[in-house]
């Protein structure tokens, strides 16, 4: 099913794409690729709770491998959740049908002080074990990705206590006690740096920061609160040769700011034109960023020809270099498996020469 498009070394392909080097085709994977749209994932979840899967390396490894077995994706992201470090810092987290709930949200200075600086080699050892196990299973030619939340997005969950909250509590904190929000962001940044360092030590070929709620902020607030915390995190992480991918959602108004995070690859959603992202986001030293994205996950609910067209259009925007093809947000649970397959296959078979001519100005 995938034999005719095997790339000899997916890790090399992925790392070349992160650095803007020459590639055979765009590497492609999907955010939330291990998830409920896969029957084999639902079968595991019928037997085990979500957190049990995250915390049991054999189970986390099994579900992380499911999309690789199905579609031969070009990168395998470790199965976990952005809220795992919140729990390690001392906040209980429950995964309910309507989404995650943190029953004891952070609201005061004493709440922030009570957050623990956790030891990733002890308190979240299962993440490193899952990454190391995946590296063993997959061998040296498949990149395993680690991840964490960006500080602002994790702070949203820690202060609101649940998803889809309207952001009243965290925005109130921003206006009523900005120093408190800053202290929380700094604590998250320092803990996340150590958490990601442990993931790289375990074998992660690249790490991604998820800043799902960055778009909630004005440019001024992003620059004042979110940006310094990401910069601190990345300084402390000192990832060196290991690429850092920064995903943010609905950040058309923040492109200039997201270029200053210190990340190597900018992952954007479908609201942003990939060509614009390239043009507007330049590293201080000059060269354009590699970009990741940006297909609307809803495209995968439509017909296969539309999926192929969306992939061709996205690859035409970048010319295929410095581009990791992905969705603009996590794959939707109602996505047909065959449509996910069509997306991966289209990414791996769209010839770069055919699109290069329409990708001027890059
Ligand atoms: O990409 C992958 O396959 C790796 C696993 C992964 C999960 N969550 C598994 C998961 C990753 C990278 C995440 C990141 C994550 N988690 C984000 C950032 C990306 C995004 O989607 O915005 C956020 C905001 C969360 C927090 C979270 N976890 C929410 C809001 C929910 C509930 C909504 C939902 O989709 O169910 C979760 C649960 C969750 N995390 C599931 C999975 C597979 C579904 C749980 C289940 O099996 O019932």
- Say whether 175 is catalytic: no
Residue 4 counted as domain residue: no
Could you say which of 10, 37, 123, 157 is catalytic? 157
Residue 5 counted as domain residue: no
The atom number, within ligand 1, closest to the CA of 99 reads: 32
The Å distance, Cα 353 to ligand 1 centre, comes to 36
Residue 317 counted as domain residue: yes
Is 77 close to ligand 1, i.e. is its CB under 6 Å away? yes
Q: At what angle do helices 125-138 and 178-202 cross, to 10 degrees?
A: 40
Instruction: Band the pLDDT of 278: cuts 50, 70, 90.
Output: confident
- Domain holding 180, by residue range, is 10-359
Buried b (16+ CB within 10 A) or exposed e, 210-237: bbbbbbbbeeebbeebbbebbebbbeeb
Is 66 close to ligand 1, i.e. is its CB under 6 Å away? no
Instruction: Band the pLDDT of 36: cuts 50, 70, 90.
Output: very high
Residue 2 counted as domain residue: no
Query: Each residue of 106-125: pLDDT tens digit?
Result: 999 999 999 999 999 999 99
Is 147 close to ligand 1, i.e. is its CB under 6 Å away? yes
Residue 267 counted as domain residue: yes
Domains of the chain: total: 1
The CATH number of whichever domain residue 343 belongs to comes to 3.20.20.210
Residue 69 counted as domain residue: yes
- CA-closest residue to ligand 1 atom 25: 82
- Say whether 32 is catalytic: yes
Residue 235 counted as domain residue: yes
- Say whether 260 is catalytic: no
Instruction: Band the pLDDT of 359: cuts 50, 70, 90.
Output: very low
- CA-closest residue to ligand 1 atom 33: 99
- Say whether 247 is catalytic: no
Mean pLDDT along residues 35-63 = 98
Query: Each residue of 61-88: pLDDT tens digit?
Result: 999 999 999 999 999 999 999 999 999 9
Is 81 close to ligand 1, i.e. is its CB under 6 Å away? yes
- CA-closest residue to ligand 1 atom 18: 210
């Amino acid at each position: 099913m995938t034999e005719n498009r095997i790339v000899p070394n997916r890790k090399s392909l992925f790392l070349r794409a992160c650095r803007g080097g020459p590639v055979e085709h765009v590497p492609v994977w999907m955010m939330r690729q291990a998830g409920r749209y896969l029957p084999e994932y639902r079968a595991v979840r019928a037997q085990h709770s979500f957190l049990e899967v995250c915390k049991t390396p054999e189970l986390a490894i099994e579900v992380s491998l499911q999309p690789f077995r199905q579609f031969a994706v070009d990168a395998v992201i470790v199965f976990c959740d952005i809220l795992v470090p919140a729990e390690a810092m001392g906040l209980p987290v429950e995964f309910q049908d309507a989404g995650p709930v943190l029953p004891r949200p952070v609201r005061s200075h004493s709440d922030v002080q009570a957050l623990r600086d956790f030891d990733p080699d002890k308190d979240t050892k299962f993440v490193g074990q899952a990454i190391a196990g995946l590296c063993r299973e997959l061998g040296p030619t498949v990149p395993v990705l680690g991840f964490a939340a960006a500080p602002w997005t994790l702070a949203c969950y820690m202060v609101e206590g649940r998803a889809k909250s309207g952001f009243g509590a965290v925005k109130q904190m921003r206006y009523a006690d900005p120093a408190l929000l800053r202290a929380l962001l700094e604590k998250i940044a320092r803990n996340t740096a150590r958490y990601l360092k442990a993931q790289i030590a375990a074998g992660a070929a690249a790490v991604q920061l998820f800043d799902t709620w960055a778009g909630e902020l004005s440019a001024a607030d992003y620059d004042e609160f979110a940006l310094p915390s990401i910069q601190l995190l990345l300084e402390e992480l000192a990832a060196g040769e290991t690429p850092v991918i920064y995903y943010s959602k609905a950040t058309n108004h923040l492109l200039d700011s997201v270029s200053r995070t210190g990340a190597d690859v900018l992952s954007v959603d479908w609201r942003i034109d990939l060509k614009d992202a390239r043009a507007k986001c330049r590293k201080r030293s000059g060269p354009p960023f590699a970009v990741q994205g940006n297909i609307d996950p809803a495209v995968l609910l439509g017909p296969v020809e539309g999926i192929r067209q969306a992939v061709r259009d996205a690859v035409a925007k970048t010319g295929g270099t410095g581009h990791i093809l992905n969705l603009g947000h996590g794959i939707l649970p109602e996505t047909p498996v065959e449509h996910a397959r069509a997306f991966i296959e289209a990414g791996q078979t769209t010839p770069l020469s055919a699109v290069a001519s329409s990708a001027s100005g890059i």
